Amino acid sequence: MLLPLGNGEWTVFSWFPFLLSAGGEIVTNNRPNLVSSGAIAALKFWQDLLKDGSAKLSAPERGYEEDNFIAGRVAMQITGPWTYIAKSNVDYGVFPIPASTKQASAIGNGNLYVMNTTPARKQAALKFLEYVLSEEFQLEWSMGTGFVPVNSRAAQSEAYQQFVSQKPMLKVFLEQMPVAHARPIIAGYSRISDNLGRAIEATMLGESPEKALHSAQERLEVYWDNK
């Protein structure tokens, strides 16, 4: 199995389902809380996969590229419905991330920013955002990109269901949506992600999960208490 090496957001995103599945959290009452039993267990699980030879690390700050899987150098990899693997000729299957204490997955959520400028531009931006989230747009966008629709009516439509019947791997991702969660939506998340990524990377390179997470938590507390 390929695991990402690095401290970037892809590493954090890839690890997040394992954190959730282990019952862990990284934010409590709007403050960083990296040293939870679930976080330690999830990080130790990744470290154990490396130690027993079940996993290998990607090149630094990579892990999202699929060349190794397509070439047969790895047997498994964490990715999403957007995967290029689906467009290749390689034989593949899709399955949910295995559960620890409960089934969980992470939402690969993106961001749309509506700037607060003039009233006319604000209304135009909100109108555009309304259209982007509509059944009509989400149906066309999802069928064109492979991403699952965020509009439930689009997902349940006859056209989309017919599309899924032709691409059965999408059904696996759709079935995980009820247990999928977003990364914390909180001011300062970039700081949390950066320090968590550094802890994950340190653990993959041999540091104990407890020490790596404690160090990250200490750095965050200094920032949080002085921001």
Are 65 and 154 part of one and the same domain? no
For 7, other C-beta atoms within 10 Å of its C-beta total: 22
* Closest to 19 in 3D by CA, of 5, 2, 1, 33: 33
Where do the H-state alpha helices sit in the chain? 9-21, 37-51, 67-70, 119-132, 135-145, 152-156, 158-166, 169-176, 189-204, 209-226
Residue 56, domain CATH = 3.40.190.10
Phi and psi at residue 105, to the nearest 5°: -150, 170
Is 113 contained in some domain?
Answer: no
- What is residue 114's predicted lDDT score, i.e. its pLDDT? 73
Are 221 and 148 part of one and the same domain? no
Structure tokens at 121: 């531009």
* Closest to 75 in 3D by CA, of 100, 49, 101: 49
Tell me the per-residue pLDDT of 12-26, one tens digit each, with 9 for 90 and over.
999 999 999 999 999
Mean pLDDT of 92-104: 92
**Host domain of residue 220:** 2-108+182-226
Tell me the per-residue pLDDT of 102-158, one tens digit each, with 9 for 90 and over.
999 998 866 777 778 899 998 998 899 999 999 999 999 999 988 889 899 999 999
pLDDT higher than 90, residue 95: yes
Are 139 and 194 part of one and the same domain? no
- What is residue 147's predicted lDDT score, i.e. its pLDDT? 87
Percent of the chain with pLDDT over 70: 99
Mean pLDDT of 180-188: 89
The overall average pLDDT reported for the chain is 92
Are 45 and 133 part of one and the same domain? no
Is 196 contained in some domain?
Answer: yes
Structure tokens at 96: 């949910």
Is 127 contained in some domain?
Answer: yes
Tell me the per-residue pLDDT of 80-93, one tens digit each, with 9 for 90 and over.
988 889 888 999 99
Is 200 contained in some domain?
Answer: yes
Q: How far is 112 from 127, CA to CA, in rounded Å?
A: 13
Mean pLDDT of 58-68: 91
Predicted model pTM? 0.88
Are 38 and 90 part of one and the same domain? yes
pLDDT higher than 90, residue 186: no
Are 128 and 152 part of one and the same domain? yes
- What is residue 191's predicted lDDT score, i.e. its pLDDT? 94
Query: Based on the structure, what is the number of domains in the chain?
Result: 2
Is 101 contained in some domain?
Answer: yes
Is 35 contained in some domain?
Answer: yes
Is 26 contained in some domain?
Answer: yes
Q: How far is 208 from 50, CA to CA, in rounded Å?
A: 13
pLDDT higher than 80, residue 171: yes
User: What are the Cα distances from residue 103, in Å, to 16, 208, 224?
Assistant: 12, 25, 32
Q: How far is 32 from 152, CA to CA, in rounded Å?
A: 32
Is 204 contained in some domain?
Answer: yes
Weakest-pLDDT range from 11-15, 63-67, 113-117, 201-205: 113-117
Are 36 and 94 part of one and the same domain? yes
**β pairing state of 105-106 and 180-181:** parallel
